[in-house]
Structure 1
Amino acid sequence: MILLIKVKGAVQGVGYRPFIAKKATEYGLKGYVKNIGAAVEILVEGDKEKLDAFSDLLKKEYPAGAFILDVEISEKNEETVDLKDFSIVESSDIDLSSELPVFLPDIGICDDCLNEMLDPGDKRYGYPLISCAVCGPRISIADALPYDRDNTAMKPFKMCPSCKADYVNGRRRHAQTVSCFDCGPQLILKYEENGEMISIDKKDSVNKAIGLLQKGKILGIKGVSGYQLICLPQSAAAARLREIKGRESKPFAIMFADSQTAREYCRLSSFEEKILNYSARPIVLLDKIKDFPKEVCGDSDYIGAFLPSAGIHRLLCDALGPLIVTSANRSGEPIVTEDDDFTGKFFDRNKFKNCEDEKINTEVHENHCVDGVLWHERRINMAQDDSVVFACRAFNESSNESIDISSFENDKALFIRKSRGYVPLPLILKGVSGCEKSVLSLGGDLKSTFSFGKKDRIIISQYIGDLEEVGCFDNFKDYIERYMKLYHIKPEMIVCDMHPKYHSAKYAEKLAKNMNIPIYKIQHHHAHALSVMAEYSLKSCIGVSLDGTGYGTDGKIWGGEFLLCNNTEFTRAGHLSYVKLCGGDKASVNSELVKECYEYASDEESAESTGINPLIKAALSNNINTFETSSTGRLFDCICALLEIKKENSYEGECAILLEKAARRGENLNKPVFSFKIDESEGMIVADQIQLFNDVKDAYESGRYEKEAVAYAFHSALSEAIARICHIIRDKNSENNVCLSGGVFANRILLEKTVSALKEDGFLVYINEFVPAGDAGISLGQAYYGLLSQKEV
């Protein structure tokens, strides 16, 4: 009896074929296994009992890093096949356009490779780019599918006899990245000493790099998915690194050798330790118990902790202890992947040599160039920043036993940024069929991502950045082309944001025209709600979308929205009241300006007596560069400035973060009680921002409450208002699903209090888990819209 088996899922780049060959041999079966692009094909011969057992095993067992979506089994005519033993055969090309294949992200170093690298008796002892069949670079080096060495950036590195032997047998069998000191890419250190540029490689490069870092120097390092900047977490080095990156106060992430070392500085639950050790090696925001200098982590309550994703990271951490490891980019620009690009931006001494002012020359040299660079010759195809997550405890068991929370664990790892280690694993949709047309969605302009959708799956790109930055926009366009080539996908419809000035929307129009395909423009906050609906394959919900900005259907700037969603349609059921702001884009940076606009709105006729800046008053009075907004993000900025915590955002969301920090300290203090005034008089549910602003101002200025207590009371008022408005909407429309999305829900206090309040009222509550709640999830919602729209035709 002969069976033809097709296994779909993440089965390339994880040693799946060697796994199958080993199991088939153990069962005494004959046949072969090979990659066929979007899947693995297995032809196997044996008696029925053994074949049944083998087929059952395929659904239950697989190597680390793999996951199985589907196993298709059919019987084949014996007369057409001549089988002698079981073997791994060369890959075949098939039409990948029939469905989106599952391809693996870059995978952090596994324990086996780590042990080999640290074992003086192993042939790969100290090899900093060690990897195997279940770890190492994947998407960042892929040129095409199927995932074979000749289709990757490893093609130029010919295996030595020892690595060839490993490629045939053992745990590196068919590992496309197998290499060593004799044949693989090598780390090369370039640094300047006494005016001379010196270059050393292999083990000497690592040892010298350790010596330089010990002296407080800053080095560049070419990682798996892009260049990084690295130094000891000392005041002087961190301050200088901020000069190099143009990063004023945003905290740096800290790399620890292992979770035990991280425990010295961070409070670490068992769940958080599990996330920290996950193969993606994300940055995990952990409660701080021991601090680094202020120049390192700033005013944050958290340490962004992560573990080595590559061998070189562990070698450096073992020798030096915790390290600042951050992406090699100027603030706002994309992470660098090209060798010449890194040299030009961070290590080119020659551009300062002709400077006539010796003082300036020295200052620029010290503050804007790194002291050396560890690089290798393996090409990086696509940049990927480190992923950033935090543990949310919003879904701990409820006292209300009637609430169905079976789809949730007690703790959840939620994304702030999703990139290396997770992308491009797809979201698998449930209960969706008939969506044969491929969809390309282009997201928004901030925290940009794009997505491809077809049939039952959506692939979301890595975090790219703000499309206002030329380099980010160039990457955005380039990566769309790379994904289309890699996945052999040709879009048949395009979905984008309805904002008329978004770069993503304008590019969507250009692509749609060039490809002669339809384009759909959907509202920003509707896409937020749809992103959660996609994760749980929901068809309807109350979508609570809270963020800083989004273009509304009425031409105003939305940001505090309650939407009644049904398939591809939505109705705006409620929102925060509009407030008139001035200053254009400055409003998202200057929280003091926003606060004065709220002051003006609270008592427009007597605004002069409140001490409002005359220029701001004139702009608001005469409608100069003004706009109306229901933004929750600006409300957070306003309250932050009102409580005299921070007057401007030196990085995105800083004021909201500091307001949350203050609130955390106010939970157990004597607190005021605030409540939004809810108005339903004109058929729309409106929560009055100005009334709340006045209440917060009166409480703070009374002197009876600490600012931290007022901050906590504000969070409580907002979560209570969300639950109250959802209750009103349910009474009118009988909708019991609530989807929470938007960047404001990165606030742990607000998220946990809101989920708790909604669950207590009997709602089924859903949040973003597969993508961040912020704008990086917009493209997922848009892609889901594109797939749902096909079912309605």
Structure 2
Amino acid sequence: MIKEITVKGAVQGVGYRPFIACMAKEFNIAGFVKNMGALVQILAIGKESDLKAFISCINSKKPEGAFILSVNEKELQSIPSEYQKYSLDFSIIDSSEIDLSSDIPVFLPDIGICDDCKRELFDKDDRRYRYPLISCAICGPRMSILNSLPYDRQTTTMDSFSMCPSCQAEYAQGRRRYAQTISCHDCGPQMILDHWSVYGEAVRKNRDEAVVEAIDILKNGGILGLKGVSGYQLVCKPEREPARRLRAIKGRESKPFAIMFSDIESVREYACVSDLEEELLVSSGRPIVLLQKKNDLDDEVVRGSRYIGAFLPSAGIHSLLTKELGPLIVTSANKSDEPIIIDDKDFVLGFFKDHSDRESNVDGVLFHERNINMPMDDSVMFVISNKYGEYPQFIRRSRGYVPLPVIIDKAETRHGNVVFAFGGDLKSTFAFGHNDKILPSQYIGDLEDYSCAVNYKALTGQYKDIFKQVPSLYVCDKHPSYVSSQMAKDKAKADGIELIFLQHHFAHTYSVMAENGLESAIGVSFDGTGYGIDGAVWGGEFTYCNKAEAARAGHLSYVTMTGGDNASKDARLISKCYLHKAAVQGLISKDNLQSFSEDKLLFAALDNKVQTFECSSMGRLFDAISAFLGICDYNSYEGECAIRLENAAWEFVETKPIGQYPEFDFDINITKEGFTADQIKLFSEIYNCVNGGNYSAKEIAYGFHMAVVRLITKGCAMAKEKYLENKVCLSGGVFNNRLILSKATEALMDMGFEVFWNKDVPLGDGGISVGQAYYGLMFEKE
């Protein structure tokens, strides 16, 4: 009997062909296995019973790291003439080119160092002892070194490194059979260290001498640039002086640094680790996981955060450094808001050009000569829990997870469009949508930064070249001034392709619907800013989406604000806008404004609507409350005020019996459109509570959080009554707040709602492109 078997999924770069060949030998199967770009093709010749067992194993087993979407088989009446030579034995044959454009190919992300490679790394009797770029068939770089599909050595940046006889022998059999990144001390890329001598001269060391000297520099409080798997990183000890200096080098004022630990046991010394958090830490993606602190690090490192961003080594060089030095700050090599650097010359120009200026330059750069094709920051995740379970969440989806697609399950897409979604400007990503898959890019950054915009354009070209997707429909944000929207308009005009616009908060809802294959849902989209259909700034939205139709079901009431782009940073300014609105509405006495004599011009501008805008943003409300309570009044990084407000609420949870806090509520007003939640009335209640002096800032912070949770349940109940819909999707940056997300999901589940939220992509704007792509797949072209 002869069977032709097609396996779709992430089956390249994980030793899948050798895995199939070993299984074929076990079941006495002749034939071959080969890569075909987006899939693996198997010709299987054998007895019917053996073939049945063989195919059953293909369906139930896979090598570590593989991601199987489907296994299809068909019987052939005879062996094609060109395959007659494979009728007596089973072979792995060369890859062949196919048309990749008919579907989105599934390819693997970069994979963290496996246990076997880590064991060899520290085994003095192994020939790869202390080889910093050790890898095998199931670990190592994938996406970041890929030139084109199918995935073979000659289609990666490993093509310039010829295998030595020992590696060539391993490539034919054993654990490194067909491992395209196979290399060693004799034939692979090696580590090189350039550092400053005591005389201010650049000194070069190679191979293990480079690693030993790098360890010595770090041990003595120095800072190094390190060329990792998918981009340059900055590394130092998590101590006050090197951390202070690292902030100066990066231009990073207050954001906490992530810490790399050698193993899970060392993580537990500093942080509480649940079973799910441990599972994420040791997973092949090696994400940064935000863990609750147990033992504190210097405040120059963590800057008051209640969490430690912990992660484990993703490459051999990381393992060597942390094994010798213990925990290390390992952060992306970029100036704040700029893209991570992948080019050797760019790093030197940015961070290693002037020995005399130690406040702007590192002490050395440890690099290798393998090119990185595609920059990727570390992915960032956290875990929420409620009485229904624990759930993993992305803050940033990048290395270790990209380019795995979002699989659309159940929902029907109505046409064969290839959709290209431009995403938003903040935490930018783009995405391709085709058939039952959406392929989101890695985190790129904020497109207002010129270098991020350049990087965005370069990556879109790389993705098109690799995945061979030719768009027939473009989707972008409705904001007329977004860089991404202008790119979309220019591109649509140049290519003659239809462009459709999707409002920001509708896109948030659609992103959750995409992950869960939903065709309709109530949406709760809370974030800092998004351009509204009425021209106002939205951000506290209840939506209803049904296939390609979307409506606003309710929202926070509008507040008149000023400050332009500075409004998202200056929380003290925003709190005064709330105070002014409360006085105008008679909820507090206008006499209270007299104490702000320096703000007369601000209040006059608000009175006369001079350079003002209307805003329904939940994110700005968090900023205003944080500033008014004296917790944080300026966002030196995005969301800082809201994060510190959440920290205060958690401190109350951890020190006080629940119940001893002020209870606030949003008044709900019915409108023609749906409903509005009066945020000025709520702000006034908090204002009076503060002046009453009966509650601490922490107690008020918790009370505010619970008011937001009650608003979510009330709003969803009203939307359910209007739309007869029981499915709720939560999305938007505000839901990165663990207290809000855990309490809201639990409360909605208690009410009988089917509750969904982003788990495959970030809750914030990093998921916008997925929502746009899903909308485009359901949009019927005229």
TM-score, normalized by length of structure 2?
0.97
1:520 to 491, 495, 500: 500
Name the structure 1 match of 2:23. Answer: 23
Paired residue secondary structure (2:492): helix
Correspondence 1:482 to 2:462: yes
State whether residues 667 and 681 of structure 2, in contact with CA within 8 Å, keep that contact through their aligned partners in structure 1: yes
State whether residues 666 and 710 of structure 1, in contact with CA within 8 Å, keep that contact through their aligned partners in structure 2: no
Distance 2:163 2:680 in 1: 69
Distance 1:56 1:148 in 2: 28
1:312 to 313, 317, 332: 317
2:695 to 705, 713, 723: 705
Distance 1:209 1:725 in 2: 56
1:334 to 339, 345, 366: 339
Name the structure 1 match of 2:68. Answer: 68
Q: Which amino acid aligns with 2:71?
A: V
Correspondence 1:233 to 2:238: yes
State the Cα distance separating 1:607 from its structure 2 match: 3.9
Name the structure 1 match of 2:95. Answer: 91
Q: Which amino acid aligns with 2:163?
A: M
Q: Which amino acid aligns with 1:186?
A: Q
In the comparison of the two structures, how many residue pairs are matched?
766
Correspondence 1:439 to 2:419: yes
Name the structure 2 match of 1:56. Answer: 56
State the Cα distance separating 1:111 from its structure 2 match: 0.3
Correspondence 1:511 to 2:511: no
Name the structure 2 match of 1:293. Answer: 298
Correspondence 1:413 to 2:411: no
Distance 1:370 1:618 in 2: 49
Distance 2:413 2:742 in 1: 34
State the Cα distance separating 1:615 from its structure 2 match: 2.3
Paired residue secondary structure (2:13): coil
Name the structure 1 match of 2:289. Answer: 284
Name the structure 1 match of 2:513. Answer: 533
Distance 1:495 1:719 in 2: 32
User: Which segment drifts farther, 278-287 or 194-203?
Assistant: 194-203
Paired residue secondary structure (2:735): helix
Name the structure 2 match of 1:674. Answer: 664
Q: Which amino acid aligns with 1:657?
A: I
Name the structure 1 match of 2:607. Answer: 621
Distance 2:671 2:382 in 1: 40
Q: Which amino acid aligns with 1:559?
A: G
State whether residues 531 and 784 of structure 1, in contact with CA within 8 Å, keep that contact through their aligned partners in structure 2: yes
Q: How does 1:305-384 map to 2 (within 5 A)?
A: 305-349=310-354, 362=356, 365-384=357-376
Q: How does 1:530-569 map to 2 (within 5 A)?
A: 530-569=510-549
Paired residue secondary structure (2:309): strand
Distance 2:290 2:58 in 1: 37
Paired residue secondary structure (1:561): strand
Q: How does 1:494-509 map to 2 (within 5 A)?
A: 494-509=474-489
State whether residues 256 and 323 of structure 1, in contact with CA within 8 Å, keep that contact through their aligned partners in structure 2: yes
Correspondence 1:130 to 2:134: yes
State the Cα distance separating 1:375 from its structure 2 match: 0.5
Q: Which amino acid aligns with 1:571?
A: A
State whether residues 435 and 454 of structure 1, in contact with CA within 8 Å, keep that contact through their aligned partners in structure 2: no
Q: Which amino acid aligns with 1:369?
A: N
C-alpha change, 1:620 and 1:608, in structure 2 (3 Å) is farther
Paired residue secondary structure (2:432): strand
State whether residues 504 and 768 of structure 2, in contact with CA within 8 Å, keep that contact through their aligned partners in structure 1: yes
Distance 1:33 1:683 in 2: 59
State whether residues 403 and 439 of structure 2, in contact with CA within 8 Å, keep that contact through their aligned partners in structure 1: yes
State the Cα distance separating 1:683 from its structure 2 match: 4.7
Distance 2:591 2:436 in 1: 59
State the Cα distance separating 1:84 from its structure 2 match: 2.6
State whether residues 417 and 473 of structure 2, in contact with CA within 8 Å, keep that contact through their aligned partners in structure 1: yes
Name the structure 1 match of 2:645. Answer: 659
Distance 1:35 1:115 in 2: 30
Q: Which amino acid aligns with 2:647?
A: K
2:258 to 228, 253, 260: 253
Q: How does 1:269-280 map to 2 (within 5 A)?
A: 269-280=274-285
Name the structure 1 match of 2:618. Answer: 632
Paired residue secondary structure (1:140): helix
Unaligned stretches of 5+ residues in structure 2: none
Distance 2:185 2:610 in 1: 65
Distance 2:565 2:398 in 1: 27
Correspondence 1:100 to 2:86: no
Distance 2:122 2:363 in 1: 27
TM-score, normalized by length of structure 1?
0.95
Paired residue secondary structure (1:221): strand
State the Cα distance separating 1:417 from its structure 2 match: 0.6
Name the structure 1 match of 2:719. Answer: 729
Distance 1:685 1:96 in 2: 48
Per-residue CA shift, 1:72-130, capped at 9, x if unaligned? Answer: 21122325341231111111001101111100000000000000001000000000100
State the Cα distance separating 1:435 from its structure 2 match: 3.4
Distance 2:499 2:608 in 1: 38
2:744 to 744, 754, 761: 754
State the Cα distance separating 1:682 from its structure 2 match: 4.3
C-alpha change, 1:169 and 1:683, in structure 2 (3 Å) is closer
State whether residues 528 and 778 of structure 1, in contact with CA within 8 Å, keep that contact through their aligned partners in structure 2: yes
C-alpha change, 1:13 and 1:79, in structure 2 (3 Å) is closer
Paired residue secondary structure (1:131): coil
Q: How large is the Cα RMSD of the aligned pairs? A: 1.1
Distance 2:545 2:65 in 1: 36
1:598 to 578, 582, 598: 578
State whether residues 8 and 38 of structure 1, in contact with CA within 8 Å, keep that contact through their aligned partners in structure 2: yes
Correspondence 1:390 to 2:378: no
Name the structure 2 match of 1:579. Answer: 559
Per-residue CA shift, 1:560-592, capped at 9, x if unaligned? Answer: 001111111112110000000001111100000
C-alpha change, 1:618 and 1:248, in structure 2 (3 Å) is same
Q: Which amino acid aligns with 1:46?
A: G
Distance 2:470 2:289 in 1: 36
Distance 1:749 1:411 in 2: 13
Q: How does 1:146-295 map to 2 (within 5 A)?
A: 146-193=150-197, 194-295=199-300
Q: Which amino acid aligns with 2:450?
A: V
Correspondence 1:14 to 2:18: no
Q: How does 1:113-128 map to 2 (within 5 A)?
A: 113-128=117-132
Q: Which amino acid aligns with 1:342?
A: F
Paired residue secondary structure (2:62): coil
Name the structure 2 match of 1:465. Answer: 445
State whether residues 421 and 773 of structure 2, in contact with CA within 8 Å, keep that contact through their aligned partners in structure 1: yes
State whether residues 387 and 421 of structure 1, in contact with CA within 8 Å, keep that contact through their aligned partners in structure 2: yes
C-alpha change, 1:98 and 1:149, in structure 2 (3 Å) is same
Paired residue secondary structure (2:131): coil
C-alpha change, 1:217 and 1:84, in structure 2 (3 Å) is same
State the Cα distance separating 1:608 from its structure 2 match: 5.8
Paired residue secondary structure (1:155): helix
Distance 2:146 2:337 in 1: 26
State whether residues 218 and 372 of structure 1, in contact with CA within 8 Å, keep that contact through their aligned partners in structure 2: yes
Unaligned stretches of 5+ residues in structure 1: 353-361, 398-409
Q: Which amino acid aligns with 1:485?
A: D
Distance 1:607 1:238 in 2: 46
Distance 1:433 1:542 in 2: 20
Paired residue secondary structure (1:697): helix
Query: Identity of counterpart residues, as a percentage?
Result: 53
Per-residue CA shift, 1:204-253, capped at 9, x if unaligned? Answer: 11111000111100000000000000000110000000000000010000
Distance 1:196 1:722 in 2: 61
Correspondence 1:649 to 2:638: no
State whether residues 435 and 456 of structure 1, in contact with CA within 8 Å, keep that contact through their aligned partners in structure 2: no
Per-residue CA shift, 1:583-630, capped at 9, x if unaligned? Answer: 111110000000000010001286464233112112212222210000
State the Cα distance separating 1:684 from its structure 2 match: 2.6
